[in-house]
Structure 1
Amino acid sequence: MKLSDGPLRVTDQGFFGPDSPTWKIWAAPTALIGFQRSVVLEHFDPNLTAAVADSAGIYADPFGRLDRTLAYFLLVATADSKTAIEASEHLMDVHRKATGIEPITGKRYSANNPASQLWIHVTGWHSVLKCYEMFGPGPLSAAEEAQYWRDCVVAAELQTCDPADVPTSRDEVREYFARVRPTLALTERARTGMHYLLRTRDRGAKLRVGSSLIAPATVATLPAWMRTMGGFDQPGLLDAAYPVAVRLAVRAASAQHAAGTVRLGRLVAPMTGDILRRHFAQLAAPETAPEGTVDPGEARRRYGRAAHAAPAS
């Protein structure tokens, strides 16, 4: 996924626009914690575990893989619709090659499987909101939360899952987790991947220190059944004390406004940090931004690969 150095929004204001809770939440420093949470939970899906383990991307290039994944989510949330559609089509091309045999069931898996894509999508959007509430400014207003889940459904149109299956409220998220829980599993490879992403031990100091510092905050956001199933529970004292420290750190970063968030993003994920830099630069200079938002269907008609394909002879 190649990104330009120019403005993040050229064709339009993307799918959500500057007044949306989506821009606020996905561009907050707490999104980094939410992202660690979501990629750990991804491994509860046996098919995703097989895809991640077979590709070995998180072990061969953990910084790159995590950075590219977070960059994708951030582009969908904040970039113009042309950039988001191009990123979506590129990601589906990558996932199209990620197929194989899931060793527990012996059935073929695909990273583009709609059920697996739904799990990635819901855990991602839920995790980022959860960490924004716990470590950032706190809960959204009722109107903002309702809009956030409507935005979540819109963003799902860029993946292979059916938007009609996407939860549209906090209660529906709980119902979704209850419904899919019997299909989740912890295999040996899943446990290895989860714990590697929580506390990376065999890579550079930056990743080792960063993941270990964030890990207790991530675990503090999880329900008891996920902790028990994943084997990464922690003492209640840590649950009580660590969020306080994280909230103070987030407040310090936020006090520097965009600069603090960009520096934090670049430290952990350079591509993501650059997207944040471009995002905040246009917020500070609104005269450089285009007007209007676009829905994914219209964006795909304008900028999708099929729109520019040569007509059949």
Structure 2
Amino acid sequence: MDSDDVGLFGPGSVTWKVHEEPVLIVAGLRSLYLQALHPRAMTGVAQNSNYRSDAWGRLVRTATYVGTTIYGTTAEAEEAGRRLRRLHGRMRATDPFTGEEFRIDDPDLLRWVHVTEVESFLDTARRAGVRLSADEIDGYYTEQRRAAALVGLDPETVPGTAADVAAYYRTIRPELRMTREAAETALFLTAPPVPWKLSLPARVGLTLGPPRWAYLGIAGTALALLPAWARRMYGGLGLPTTALSADLTVRALRLALAAVPRRWREGPMQQAAKERAARLADAPLPNKA
């Protein structure tokens, strides 16, 4: 029964510990900056997505999918995975450099998106001050192989430890480069259109309101949190001082978000998952007599 199902991970998992943190909103943006550096992945998005005309809708859909895989029931997570696999299975794109048509659900592309996403979540959480042991770090990557399986990947082909992830990045870096599409996407990510309800009235003649300034701060932090090699590809400096500044900023943001009442910083799926886990914890032990 769903009332007894805590999903793919559950309250004792490293995944729940990491994703407890609202500061992971920065991690999601960090992963998008990273993903843009893969030419084929970027081409696939550009030729199959309406992200420019519906940036916030796409963000909400992505967040909902991730939330479902983390906090939904097993059935909900598996159904979300099936829908995503059906969607990706219909998509094709054409490589602008070779003219070759390729599938969006190519395992190499799916693996790139998966690794950049989970590594961004974990790296951001750690640098924001979440204490994780070496075993927990490896445990997170191993647990996230379940999420990789949902999108159609063979879990055994997905990095399952920190060492595996580092080796994966070393292997794939020669394939990455700053293309025109990557640059345009990065610019869009840094300054997307703000929903009109959050903008200042047009009559005041201002294009920058508090929501825009807040978002620019988050985007700048996400860029600064990138690995040094990725920052250099974006034209920045891979200096230790940049990383230190990013660490201080994301730690401060985590502290600020911790002051927000729990009922406001936890979404409905997360609250429902915790309620199911609490009911299960309070359930009487089966009679073994």
> TM-score, normalised on structure 2?
0.83
Partner of 2:268: 277
Partner of 2:121: 128
8 Å contact 1:78–1:279 — kept in the other structure?
yes
Given candidates 211, 214, 218, the residue that maps to 2:218 is 214
Following TM superposition, by how much is the alpha carbon of 1:212 offset from its aligned partner in structure 2, in angstroms?
1.1
Query: Does the C-alpha gap of structure 1 residues 130 and 80 become closer, same or farther in structure 2, counting only changes over 3 Å?
Result: same
Given candidates 151, 156, 165, the residue that maps to 2:143 is 151
Query: Which protein shows a greater Rg?
Result: 2
Following TM superposition, by how much is the alpha carbon of 1:237 offset from its aligned partner in structure 2, in angstroms?
5.8
Following TM superposition, by how much is the alpha carbon of 1:148 offset from its aligned partner in structure 2, in angstroms?
1.0
Where do 5+ consecutive residues of structure 1 fail to align?
1-8, 263-275, 292-313
Query: Does the C-alpha gap of structure 1 residues 156 and 278 become closer, same or farther in structure 2, counting only changes over 3 Å?
Result: closer
Given candidates 176, 179, 185, the residue that maps to 2:168 is 176
Partner of 1:43: 36
- Greater mean deviation of Cα atoms: 251-260 or 95-104: 251-260
Following TM superposition, by how much is the alpha carbon of 1:11 offset from its aligned partner in structure 2, in angstroms?
5.9
Look up the equivalent residue of 2:51 and give its one-letter code.
I
8 Å contact 2:71–2:269 — kept in the other structure?
no
> What is the alpha-carbon root mean square deviation over aligned residues?
2.6
Given candidates 248, 253, 267, the residue that maps to 2:257 is 253
Where do 5+ consecutive residues of structure 2 fail to align?
200-209, 283-289
Q: How does 1:187-226 map to 2 (within 5 A)?
A: 187-197=179-189, 199-204=190-195, 205=199, 208-226=212-230
**Cα distance in structure 2, aligned partners of 1:196 and 1:216:** 13
Query: Does the C-alpha gap of structure 1 residues 222 and 181 become closer, same or farther in structure 2, counting only changes over 3 Å?
Result: same
8 Å contact 1:63–1:207 — kept in the other structure?
no
Partner of 1:54: 47
Partner of 1:161: 153
Following TM superposition, by how much is the alpha carbon of 1:52 offset from its aligned partner in structure 2, in angstroms?
1.4
8 Å contact 1:219–1:234 — kept in the other structure?
no
8 Å contact 1:200–1:207 — kept in the other structure?
no
- Greater mean deviation of Cα atoms: 203-212 or 253-262: 203-212
8 Å contact 1:136–1:247 — kept in the other structure?
yes
8 Å contact 2:232–2:238 — kept in the other structure?
no
SS of aligned partner of 2:93: strand
Query: Does the C-alpha gap of structure 1 residues 215 and 142 become closer, same or farther in structure 2, counting only changes over 3 Å?
Result: same
Q: Summarize deviations over 1:31-75 as a string: whole Å, max 9, x none.
A: 111110111211122222112112342201000111211221221
8 Å contact 1:47–1:110 — kept in the other structure?
no
Partner of 1:15: 8
- Greater mean deviation of Cα atoms: 147-156 or 13-22: 147-156
**Cα distance in structure 2, aligned partners of 1:200 and 1:234:** 23
Following TM superposition, by how much is the alpha carbon of 1:167 offset from its aligned partner in structure 2, in angstroms?
1.2
Look up the equivalent residue of 2:184 and give its one-letter code.
T
Partner of 2:110: 117
SS of aligned partner of 2:150: coil
Partner of 1:87: 80
Query: Does the C-alpha gap of structure 1 residues 233 and 94 become closer, same or farther in structure 2, counting only changes over 3 Å?
Result: farther
8 Å contact 2:33–2:186 — kept in the other structure?
yes
Look up the equivalent residue of 2:217 and give its one-letter code.
L
Following TM superposition, by how much is the alpha carbon of 1:119 offset from its aligned partner in structure 2, in angstroms?
0.5
1:229 and 2:233 correspond:
yes
Partner of 1:6: none
Q: Summarize deviations over 1:86-136 as a string: whole Å, max 9, x none.
A: 111111222223212111121112221110000011111110000001114
**Cα distance in structure 2, aligned partners of 1:228 and 1:149:** 26
Following TM superposition, by how much is the alpha carbon of 1:223 offset from its aligned partner in structure 2, in angstroms?
2.1
Following TM superposition, by how much is the alpha carbon of 1:22 offset from its aligned partner in structure 2, in angstroms?
0.1
SS of aligned partner of 1:100: strand
**Cα distance in structure 2, aligned partners of 1:260 and 1:133:** 23
